[in-house]
Structures are given as C-alpha cells and as structure tokens.
Structure 1
C-alpha cells in the first residue's frame, strides 16, 4: 500500500457514509424553503426605507445577479455531487487553503442564519398584543430580552433535534412547511392588491428614486440579497440526493425562479398598500416607527384581520423552516471540511442514521453564541450578506478553473456563455460585498483571521502522515483579493470615508475583480491534482444510489 493510499484510508476510517434519500422535490423545497424565510416578512419594509419605490429596482438587480451565481452553482453541483459543495468546489480547483477560506465563509454564513431566522420570528410575534402583554420578547429597539433569548434557544434546540433524527425527516418536514410558506406570501399579494392599490405611492416622498442610485445599491445588503440567499442549499445536500446529476441543477434553477417571482410581487403589493399620507414626505416610517410586522399591519389597516392572523402563524413557520434548513447546510459544510482535514476529523463522523452529529451540535452551540453579540434581525443581515458574497465569489472562479482543468467530466447542466457569465458572477459577488458596507466588511475580515487560526490548530492536531499538502501557490490570489476589497470599502461610499467619487467606486471594484479573477484561474492546480482530489473526496462519502422501485 502506498503512503498516499494509507493516508486516505486513515482519513476515511470510521467516518461512515451519507445516505442518498432525497429526491428532486425534496431538494427543490430545501432551496426554496431557504429563499422564502424572514426576507419576505421584513425585507420589503427595510428596503423601502432605504430606497423608496426604487427598491423594486433593487429586487430586480439582485435577482439578476443572484440568478447568474445560481446557474454557476447549478453546473458545479451537478458535476460534483458531494456534500458541502460550496466548500469543496474551490478545494478541488485550488487546494486546501482556498477550500478552507471558502468553506469557512460558507459555514459562518449558514450557521448564523438559523439564529437570524429565529430572531425574525420573535420580532413578528412581539407584535401580537397578548404575547407582548404576557411575555416581553423584545426591547423597544428590537433586541432580545432574557425571555426572548430563552424562547430563541428552544427554537434552536428543535432545529437540532430534527437534524439529528435524519435527512429524510428534514426533507419531509421542510416540504410541508415550504408549501405553506409559499402559499401565504402569494395570498398576501392577492389580498392586498385586490383591496387597495395606491399608484401614487410609486412616485411619493421625492419621486420614484428619492435617494438615487445610492439608495438602490444600499438596499441590496439591507435585506434584498439576504432574501435570495439559500438557493445553494440543495447543493450542500447533494451527497444525500438520490440522483444528484439529474436533480441538483433543476432544483436550484426552479427554486430561484419561484423565489424571484414571489419577492417582486410582494414588494409591489407592499408599496401599493401603504397609506399615501405615511410616505408623502419621505420613507423613514412607512408603517409606523418600531413596527417589525409590516404585512400584518397593512392587512389590519385594509380590513383583512383574518390575513393578519395567518401572517402571524407564518411568521413562525417561514423563518423556522429556513433556520431548520440552514442548520442542516451548516452541518454538511462542517462535515465536508472534516473530510478534507480542514476541521478536526470528528466533524466528519456520522451516526448510524447517516447524520454528522458532531457537526450538528457545533452548529447549535455557535448559533446560541450568536444571539449575544447580534441580538436583533437587522444586526446580523449585513454581516451575513457580506459573508455570502465572499462564499458565492469562489464558485465562478472554481467553475472556470475546473472547466479548463477538468473539462472532460460529465456535466448534466452547462452554464451558457460561461466565459462571460463566470467573470460576471465574480464581479457581482464583489459588488455585493462592497455594498454591504465597510463596517460589515472589516468584521468579516477579522473572522477570516480567526478561521485561519482554527485551520492551523486543526492541521497541527492531524498526524503528519495524514496531512495533505497545503498548496500555497494556488491560494496566493485570495489574500490580495480580500484585502483589496476591504481597502476599497474603507475609502468607498458605503460606510467608508467616501473618498472615492460616485460611480468611479463601482468601476474600481469591477476592474479590480476582473484582474483578480483572471489571475486566480491561472493559478489553479493541475488537471491530475483536480482528478485526484475529486476521486478521493467522492469515494466512500455516500451510500450507492438505491435501485429504482
């Protein structure tokens, strides 16, 4: 036995296999359930305050940008159907160091969304009179009270227990909730548009774009991009898909199309249903100061109190369903990095049910800790959006590199015009990062440094005979890329010192991104190294596909 094979055997010993138990509908509902969460409950209000009626442009712009990134992920997920794909595609193309930075951002984003969805649920529930009278969940500024923290912990514990039971229960539970939480937004749109439509609202408070292009861009990380996050969750569970080559890409594309249609209709209904007097002189408080339940408030105002009751029920179901799925995605990412020796090996151990239990418990603990420094929905959105932008940026670079280095691999779905859409996707991700603001960006940079310390500790704990080569050269582009983005943000117009002229700042981000992109794809590992990595990671990860009934 060669030294390499011995290391691979040692690395895989005792890790167990994931079970291929999820079909197309389960995968599609997992992605759609992640997209339709707290974003629809709170996103329209948040973005309207920042951009006014031009928030519609923000939703269209975000849908186009995220659609390109979704199509990139659809090709990668079908070609490389492994668990935790957003961490492993860069690993295949650039080696362990890049794989870890991508996986760390992806894991951090996923593990923080479960608590953020719980906070959205509690924000809505606090609007119910009898709940507020009996238990004070939120402080006046929207942060959690001690009772709120206790209830939030119960939600997190429920998510954890469902994930530990098994992926089949997860998919079944999620499918039921997704049907409900997709129907409720559509019902809300139908009721509001049929009862009231104030066309004048679309030019009120200073015109269609009262805050100009800056407002449109600033609204993106304030809730718009966050609302679309989650399309890749089907890819995270590809290692548990019954027919990943056929189903993963279709699930991502269908979920993204449905989510885009729902969010555009919701924003139109929201703006049209507002009281014209509330927005005649500005958009600072379109539904009342401190109101965290905008659609329920509008439903009550137009005489549809029954709809408000349904919305309060959905305020529990929608965010809770999304939090449940994201906790699952976070555990698969930790599992993937455990298999790659980027995190301690226990992260990759699975139970007899095929569940990475240690990874599930880690996600629960970190989610609980997140309630302390980020005790409100708004406090987490920009940071999560910034992390998602970095995570998504790795995929277009990996796609281009793998097309060149591993072009003969079967690809059930192929991204059209990939030589154009690949770099475009990378630019879009970098722009989203820039628009997230310097405050979120530098904090994210600090978490990357913290992650590298975790990576170093994990590597030191791994026996020298089992360590993989780090491959520093393919990772050289990552550091100037991340440092450059933070530096541009420091002098930019979104939380920075505003030294860069308007529009020139966007041109600088675009040019910088393209330079990094084409430098990165030239640094990818060799074709043989890609093939070896894919073979080693896929072998023994999942049980064979069950025979057709």
Structure 2
C-alpha cells in the first residue's frame, strides 16, 4: 500500500482528507444521526398502528439493524473510504451496482436534513409565542414564507459548519449529542414514577390489538427511521484518525445506546398515556394537534418544566441530525463524483480537505425539498425504504469481498458471517417490503432517474476514460428489486389508498416468501461478484483514502 508521501490528492482536486476525528467524534456522529426527530414522533406513530405491541416493533427493529450494524462495522474498518456505503458494492460488483447503492444512499441522506429542519420548525410552531409572531407553518403543515426563511437559515448554518471542516462538525455535534441523549433519558426518569399505568399495556384491545400486521406496519412509520443512522460515521471514514481501530467500535456503541434509549422511551410513552384515552382503542392516544407527545404527557403528569425542556430539544435534536446529514450526504456525493458516476466536479476536495461542491449540492437539494410535501410519516416511509435498499447492499458486499478479497486486513470480524450476512440481507428486504409497495415503486422511479444521470455523465466522458460497467456482476439487481415490488403489490402494506396493494399474501406467509426470495438473490449476487484481481484492483485505486495519513488530532 502506498505510503503517506505517495498518496495522491483527490481526483482533479488540490486537497486531501484530514484524519482528525477520533473514536468519540465518530461515535457521536452515528449516535447524533440516530437520535433526531424520530424519538419525538416514532413512539406515537408506532402505538397508533401496533398498540402496546409497538414495544415489540422497537425490539425487532433494534435486532434487525444490529445485524446490519455488525456487517457495516467490518466493512467500514476494512475499507475506510469516504461514502463507504457507495464504495463497498462498487468494489464487489462494479460501477452499476456501486452507483445504484450510492444513489440510494444519497437519496436518503440528502432528504433527511430538510425533514429534520421541518420537524424542528413544526415543533416550535406549537409554542404560542412562536406561532403568533413567526407564523412558521400553514394549516396543512407546509412552510410559510417566514418558515421557509428560517428553514433556509438553518440550512445555511449547517452548510457553513460543514465547509469549515469535519473537525468543527465533529466538535459541535458532540456537544449537541450529549444534550440529545440526556433529554430522552430524563424524560423516562421523570414520566415513569409520576404517571406510569401498567394497565395500559393491555388496554384498547389487549397487548397486540392489531396482531403481527400492526407490529410490522409500525416499522416503516418511524421506528426504523429513528434507529437508522448507525452507518453515518462510516461515510466519514476517510477523515477518521484511526479508522481500523475506531470505526467498528463507534458503529456498535452508537447502535447499542440508541436502541436502549428508544426502547425505554416506548415503555415510558405507553405507560404514561391517560387510560381514558385508550378506552376506544389506539387511534388517538394523544389529542390531535399535539405534535409533541412527550411534552403533552409531561404537562399531564404535572412536570411542566420538562415540557419546556422538550420543546427546546424538539428543535435541537432534529437540527443536530440535519447538520450531520448535510456532511454525510456530501461525502456520498463525493464518492459518486470521485468514481466518475456523476460529474467529476463533485469528486474534488478543496485545500481544506472538504468536498465543497458536494456540500453546496446538499444545500441546494435541501432548499428544493422545502416545497410542499405530504405528512412526516409518509416522508419517513420513503426515506426508510431508500435506507433499507442501501443497507441491503452491505451483506452481499461483505460475503463477496470476504471471498474475493480474502487477504485484506480486517480489524473487526462480523461474528458468524455465514449466518449473519444472509440474515442481514433478509432483514433489509423485509424493511423494504413493510414500507409498502406504493413507496417502493416510487423508489424504483428514483433509481431509474439516477441511472439517467449516470448515463448522461458517461456520455460526456471521453471513451478512453470510461470504466467498464460490470453488467454481469450486477445482473441480479434489477430482478431483485422488481421481485420486491411485485411481492409488495401482492402483499398488504401500503399508505396510499389511491394505489392499493392486492392483499393476497397472508400475514406470516408474506414474511416467509420475502425471506425465501431474499436468500435466492443473496447467493445469486455473491456468485456474480467480480473476479479477485478486479476487486483488488478496484480497492487499490482508493489508496489515496486507504493510506494511513499522519494523525493530526485524535481527540
């Protein structure tokens, strides 16, 4: 491997990434991505469709994402490159697979910052003084002119922090995450002794009033969205001070803390509800219009002071997550640009080691995303599905890279890979399926749109500079996703009444069918991986990022 003195700068750029982020910075990047608007709304949305069994939804999601976190931990430590979720499939399956994985990663990452900003403003708009003087939201929940101005200001701040450099991003995020973690835990500590009703766990139709269908339906309505984000430190791997030592630990610790916090919050939420509100079921456990359910529960419990803290956190938590995703979406854009899958200008770094044009693009897309949108829940379902598509590429990449690149140093090893890799692929596919077929065919459209961008980019490249497409290695991707969309159409999960699914697959049977299809595709995909020499050559192209650059600051 090249020594630091021989490391080339970013393609066409003048700078190089600076390895300044240590373990705690990396861990807080992932934990800050996990704790955002999801903790403020996820429990309510899950309870509406699953009742007390929403607790199972959180445990199930935590277990499924823990499997995927173990897989990402090995990949991130073995291949510490910027925008890793886009690069691992590229190494294993070539340009087309790498682009589809990277594009899916980018779709979810670039959408989250504006979602979190709007969530922040929506919470603030519930404060009477803010509503009367700033008027942030229209009656339908979309931004007013004033709201758009404040949203833009937040996006500008996020952009400036990211342009200054990853060290400022890491340091500012660390302070925010300490607050973001303390407030949910404080909420649990206060609500449980003041207003806990154990009978709520069997009220409104029993513990599982909507059966397994409700448990599964809750996952894409905010549960998975809340817990996702553990992989975000991997997107910054090229800026980690000691990536081989710290990345895997950061992923696993952040995932563990996030899962514990969310499960405790769901217990506190269900137990603190007014039993009278559950007599007629779980459709409206909190009064309509109360956008901040925990603040409402705090006031009812006589802890009005906690409600004020929650309203502050309702701004801080989503805003902090938005800050992170501006940075990580820029690293994904950089990865796509560096690999010449989109215009190469986005694959350049400035003299500060920052992907400037990629950060600016994240700002522009974020601004465009403030156009009128449907509900938070519907947006979350789309982002959850796109994230699951990104996650699905990791298990097949792990199995393929272990086989085709066996001599690579792997500082962290996923336990029981022969079991967890296919299981991880099944988990990701089930999340996609539960998101609903109406969401997934839209994701399909977005991937097709991305491929158009990919084709146009290649059309403007000189023939001698175009890398081969590796279509043979990617032959499994279209049948895989088409099969998932078809299974979704035959199933019973969709949010849009205008595009109903056929409801032909019974609950339970549908899970088995999706799992069977997933396993068929998994072993097919691994068999399609590029030859060892091509995989090794693709990895070696990234010596600029893989080389152990001098440590500048490990704090």
Distance across 2 between alignment mates of 1:170 and 1:37: 16
Work out which of the residue numbers 521, 529, 550 in structure 2 matches 1:545. 550
> What TM-score does the superposition give when structure 1 sets the normalisation length?
0.96
Cα offsets for 1:152-199 (capped at 9, x unmatched) = 222111111111111000000000000011000000000001211111
Q: Match for residue 533 of structure 1?
A: 538
TM-score (norm. length: structure 2): 0.95
TM-aligned CA distance change 1:142 to 1:264, over 3 Å: same
Residues 337, 343 of structure 2: 8 Å contact kept: yes
| Residue 376 of structure 1, CA deviation | 4.3
Is the 8 Å Cα contact of residues 222 and 381 (structure 1) preserved in structure 2?
A: yes
Deviations 1:95-150 (A, max 9, x none): 00000000000011000000111111112112111111223222344333332222
Structure 1 residue 16: deviation in Å?
Answer: 2.9
State the match for 2:193 in structure 1: 194
2:473 partner SS: helix
352-361 or 132-141, which moves further after superposition? 132-141
Aligned equivalents of 1:538 and 1:301: distance in 2? 58
How far the C-alpha of 1:14 sits from its partner, in A, is 2.7
Residue aligning to 2:303? 304
Partner of 1:143: 142
2:528 corresponds, among 505, 518, 523, to 523
Q: Match for residue 497 of structure 2?
A: none
TM superposition shift of 1:11: 8.3
Change (3 A) 1:541 1:396: closer
CA distance in 1, matches of 2:547, 2:290: 47
Partner in structure 2 of residue 289 of structure 1: 288
1:240 and 2:239 equivalent?
yes
State the match for 2:330 in structure 1.
331
Deviates most, 487-496 or 65-74: 487-496
Indicate conservation of the 8 Å contact 2:18/2:552, yes or no: no
1:498 has 2:503 as partner: yes
Does residue 27 in structure 1 map to residue 19 in structure 2?
no
- Residue 85 of structure 1: CA displacement? 0.3
Q: Out of 452-461 and 243-252, give the one that drifted further.
A: 452-461
* Matched residue, 1:403: 402
**Quick check: 345-354 or 419-428, which moved more?**
345-354
Matches within 5 A, 1:76-95: 76-95=75-94
Matched, 1:474 2:473: yes
Answer whether contact 1:31 1:255 (CA < 8 A) is retained.
yes
- In structure 2, what is the equivalent of residue 448 of structure 1? 447
Pair 1:257-2:256 in alignment: yes
Contact 2:10 2:16 in 1 (8 A): no
Residues 74-473 of structure 1 correspond to what in structure 2 (within 5 A)?
74-374=73-373, 376-473=375-472
> Contact 1:19 / 1:543 at 8 angstroms: preserved in 2?
no
Secondary structure (helix, strand or coil) at the match of 2:29 reads helix
Q: CA deviation at 1:548?
A: 8.1
**Which stretches in structure 1 are left out of the alignment for 5+ residues?**
1-7
User: What whole-Å deviation, never above 9, does each CA across 1:450-507 have from its counterpart, x for those lacking one?
Assistant: 0000001111122222211111100100000011111111111102121222222111
CA distance in 2, matches of 1:151, 1:14: 34
**Partner-residue secondary structure (3-state), 2:205:** coil
Separation in structure 1 between the aligned mates of residue 552 and residue 34 of structure 2, nearest angstrom: 32
Q: Size of the alignment, in residue pairs?
A: 542
For each residue in 1:214-252, what CA deviation from the matched residue of structure 2 results, as whole angstroms up to 9, or x when unmatched? 000000000000001110011000000010000000000
